[in-house]
Amino acid sequence: MTEIEAVIAWVQSGKATKRKTFNTKITSYGLKHIAEKSMGIYIGMDSFIEAMDMLGFNKKQEYPESINYFFNIHVAKEKND
């Protein structure tokens, strides 16, 4: 399974869902780490962002020239959090 496929599977398992507005409390970098912890594997930033694009999430840059994005995403809390 590729990193992109892993992220898609993570979202499709119900760990993350779309919401109407951007979630500005967490960037793509933080989301990537949540996904990694949940799946127990490393995910590259580019793979995470590409998977979000493929799933149809909206994104906007954290600030001009940033490599981090905000998404219209809600992440379910893990039971151990």
User: What confidence tens digit (pLDDT) does each residue in 21-80 have?
Assistant: 999 999 999 999 999 999 999 999 999 999 999 999 999 999 999 999 999 999 987 765
User: Residues 6 or more apart from 24 whose CB is under 8 A from it?
Assistant: 70
pTM, full prediction: 0.90
Supply the pLDDT for residue 76.
Answer: 86
In three-state secondary structure terms, 34 is helix
pLDDT band at 6 (very low <50, low <70, confident <90, very high): very high
| Domains of the chain: residue spans and CATH | 3-75 (1.10.10)
